[in-house]
Structure 1
Amino acid sequence: MPAAHHKLTVPDHKTLRAEATSQVKEELGKIARPDDRFKRACEIVQQADLEIAAHTEERNQAALSLWFYDGVRGLDKVLGILPNAYSEMRRFALHGDKKATINPGGDLNARMTAEERIAAAQKAGVPRLDSDEASDRLPALAATVAVAAARRKAAMPFLQDAALALTEDPYGWSTDRIAKLGNTTPKYVRDVKNKAAKRRGH
């Protein structure tokens, strides 16, 4: 019998993202010097990237296992992603293509039976996880990824603006010097400062 999504904890993604965004903006907004702000913004972005990389695959595997093998519905809400993104995740798992249809016979109104879902997942090599363990772990994994993504998104404008400021008077830093400060590359610095300049209308 398919498990209902209400048996899983649905993280309050909206609040989690808002709190993470507010914390980053408050922290970076208090840093007056652009070099200090750039360095800290880089640290936040790099840490977020590590967390996203470390947890996204595990999050996705738990969600895919619960959907394909256990028929759990409403997982997009647990994941905190849009239904389209969730559909793309399932398509990619089966076909390696986000746009490929997973509907039987390509009929958008047709739905796979439980047996068809399981067979398709097994054929595609989707790992089957213990459903209780996946249900327990998925909300925390989803929340971790959502918070990291929100922190990253909030830090980027500060990072970009600080990089641009450091190339201008009275600083006049080279992209190499800025890159060393942020433990990144000159190309990355050029890209982020150009985004700041574009946003400013230059």
Structure 2
Amino acid sequence: MPKAGITYGPRIKAPDYKEIAKNAENAVLAEFEQIGVTKPVDIFTKKRKVRADDVAAKAAEIIRQADAEIGMYADARDQALAHLWFYEQRIGLGRSLGLTQTGYRGILAKALYGDKKHPLPAEESNEALIEAAKKEGLKVVDDAETKLVQTHQVVAAARARRQTAVPFMQEAVLALSLPPYNWTPDHIAEHTEIERSVIYKQRTAAAKRHNL
């Protein structure tokens, strides 16, 4: 969001988040390979070698851990990001994190106003941005650049693990709903420790892929 009236600080030195995400994805795939699946559809094409309940349990474990890490680190990441924009006017923050413009602006708006859809202040100077942040009580984050880099590494990896595990979970839930398992949503929810409403959504997503 460069503006002509603002003097910007240097770009942050960020690691390769795409590589971090790819490594996280590969680690998840390796975990599934240990229980006999290399891709989600294997649950159906390798029925005699793969137990859908094992895949569901593994996927649920990965998703829970990823959600916990995102919940633990995302807010600190967002606070550091907002500090760097409003108090230090660092340029290229969203791009350095691999965020879309909409996602980046949403993080700033939520950190400043508590609502990711709230319009950002149309300030045209460094001083005005700082005053806008102070007016809304935006937290000052010490060593914000280091904290941003560290927390986003965790969040990026966790999101990649979650994204990789979800299709395995969906296919496993569908398989468990069909013969020879014929498990009810309640049974699957109890087995995976995931809410029944989520189980329904997982099953529906997989069924659509199979035109069921």
TM-score bracket for this pair, using the shorter chain length: 0.7 to 0.9
Please tell me the residue identity of whatever aligns with 1:190: Y
Q: 2:14: which partner in 1?
A: 10
Q: 1:24: which partner in 2?
A: 28
Tell me the TM-score normalised to structure 2 length: 0.84
Q: Which has the higher helix share?
A: 1
Given candidates 121, 128, 131, the residue that maps to 2:133 is 121
Which runs of 5 or more residues in structure 2 are unaligned? 1-6, 36-49
Tell me the distance in 2 between the aligned counterparts of 1:12 and 1:60: 19
Tell me the TM-score normalised to structure 1 length: 0.87
Q: 1:187: which partner in 2?
A: 197
Q: Count residues with an aligned counterpart.
A: 192
Confirm or deny: 8 A CA contact 1:13 1:146 kept in the other structure: yes
Q: Identity percentage over the alignment?
A: 36
Tell me the distance in 2 between the aligned counterparts of 1:174 and 1:19: 35
Let me know the Cα RMSD of the aligned residues.
Answer: 1.7
Which runs of 5 or more residues in structure 1 are unaligned? 105-110
Please tell me the residue identity of whatever aligns with 2:163: K
Tell me the distance in 1 between the aligned counterparts of 2:186 and 2:52: 16
Please tell me the residue identity of whatever aligns with 1:69: Y
Question: Matches of residues 1-202 of structure 1 in structure 2 within 5 Å?
Answer: 2-5=8-11, 8-31=12-35, 32-102=50-120, 104=122, 112-130=124-142, 133-202=143-212
Tell me the distance in 2 between the aligned counterparts of 1:30 and 1:200: 25
| Cα offsets for 1:25-83 (capped at 9, x unmatched) | 23224422110110010010010000001000000101111110111111113433122
Confirm or deny: 8 A CA contact 1:62 1:135 kept in the other structure: yes
Tell me the distance in 1 between the aligned counterparts of 2:158 and 2:30: 16
Tell me the distance in 2 between the aligned counterparts of 1:88 and 1:184: 28
